[in-house]
Chains A and B, each alone.
Chain A
């Protein structure tokens, strides 16, 4: 892939054209920009805010929309001590302008030309870039089978719940496993507990299947999952991780 010319990955103006609340405190923003290059599944964008005194703050957010979507979507979780996320979740209104830069990253990406099985492992809002991959696979109607292991605290925190459950029921290439960590519905046989080695052994594609594995979420979650996958004999070269650090 040829490198873009100097100065071409730059801040461009964008407008908030839509939004919806996924779960309380988590909001999807629909953003339109004339100058934004269509993205690949799994990429992220930088968003920059400017205060009246000229102070700026920027953070990165994974794209939730499928590859190539225009307008594109991000899903933002409000962090308690966040500087940017509270504004994006509670402040910015339809019609307001934002500055965006990207899309960025070629590593944590899924492309429809990949035919191998795909294991997606999400911790909380780590599901966002994986949702982009799932939506891309859905739109492309081609690619390997997908399994999503989604670790979330409780049903009230289950982002994209309806869409994922419907897809699980209707698409034969997609299987959803929801792993509640604090509170599970009474019908859930697994009960609520942290994702562990048994979950990975039972639910992820086995190492010999040669699946590509994408893990995304808070760092401690990713660390435990990646270590466990290594102990189970998965090839480290097939494990891609995206860790949400302490940025807000």
Chain B
């Protein structure tokens, strides 16, 4: 390549393989939302799963917690280039919501209070890869970080971890959600730098 920025040194960087290409280590937890923060009380909260036939199943907050909450320790990666390692969450695995439900879809759209959407293939939600998260760092999830509940899909760029999630709709084909319609990649794998359209 033979190209470099004269005089640029960069931070001390250890390459331990946990930071995907084009990312840097961030110790804070930036908030980057497209609109105002949603504020929903757990007493008003519901989560609705809609299958490809239109069949709906809903859970109240307590019904969701009763499905079983587990601990998650993971790294997260934002498309704006920061990565935060060793984050602790509590959440209900997506498998629990699909337990006993008949479906034939391969794709899904996550919906949030306030209208945010993001599409995620079911392959990326099952097999221990995704949760509806209800806790962060030992307490409830702060509203600006997506509380009371957000989708958590840490192996994809964090815009896929829909804040204020309130539903999942199963789809037969992949459709773009909010950021996917606004310039961002349909899939979002940080290890392949799937950031934008045409990436």
Contacts and interface: CB of A to CB of B under 8 A. Distances in A.
Given A236-B114, A241-B35, A91 B30 contact: no
Nearest to A92: B5
Nearest to A98: B5
A57 B30 contact: no
Nearest to B185: A9
Interface in A73-122: 83, 87, 91-93, 96-99, 101, 104-108
B182 interface: yes
B1 to A, nearest CB: 8
A149 B136 CA distance: 35
Interface stretch (B20-28, B51-59, B91-99, B118-126): B20-28
B199 interface: yes
A232 to B, nearest CB: 12
B144 interface: yes
A227 B9 CA distance: 40
B182 A106 contact: yes
A50 interface: yes
A186 interface: no
B34 A51 contact: no
Contacts of B115: 237
Contacts of B198: 3-10
A97 B3 contact: yes
B164 to A, nearest CB: 12
Contact of B183 (A104, A241, A247): A104
B196 interface: yes
Chain B interface size range: 35 or more
Contacts of B35: 226, 236-237, 239-241
Contact of A51 (B5, B196, B197): B5
A83 B37 contact: no
A203 to B, nearest CB: 19
A51 B9 contact: yes
A218 to B, nearest CB: 10
A221 B85 CA distance: 26
A48 B1 CA distance: 14
Contacts of B9: 51
Interface in A222-248: 223, 226-227, 229-230, 236-237, 239-241, 243, 245-247
A161 B182 CA distance: 32
A128 to B, nearest CB: 15
Interface in B48-93: 78, 80-82
A238 B128 CA distance: 37
Contact of B36 (A49, A104, A239): A239
Contacts of B17: none
Contacts of B101: none
Given A236-B36, A236-B114, A245 B7 contact: no
B183 A226 contact: no
A210 to B, nearest CB: 16
A245 B36 contact: no
Contact of A91 (B1, B8, B196): B8
B31 A99 contact: no
B138 interface: no
A216 B58 CA distance: 36
26 contacts: A6-B199, A8-B198, A9-B197, A9-B199, A10-B199, A49-B8, A50-B8, A60-B80, A60-B81, A91-B8, A96-B5, A97-B3, A98-B5, A107-B179, A219-B31, A223-B144, A236-B36, A237-B115, A245-B28, A245-B32, A245-B80, A245-B82, A246-B30, A246-B82, A247-B81, A247-B82
Interface of B: 1, 3-11, 13, 22, 24, 26, 28, 30-37, 78, 80-82, 114-115, 144, 178-179, 181-183, 195-199
5 nearest A-B residue pairs (beta carbon): A245-B30, A4-B198, A226-B36, A9-B198, A8-B198
Given A99-B3, A108-B34, A247-B81, 13 more contacts: A4-B197, A8-B198, A9-B195, A50-B3, A57-B8, A97-B5, A105-B183, A227-B37, A240-B34, A245-B78, A246-B28, A246-B30, A247-B82
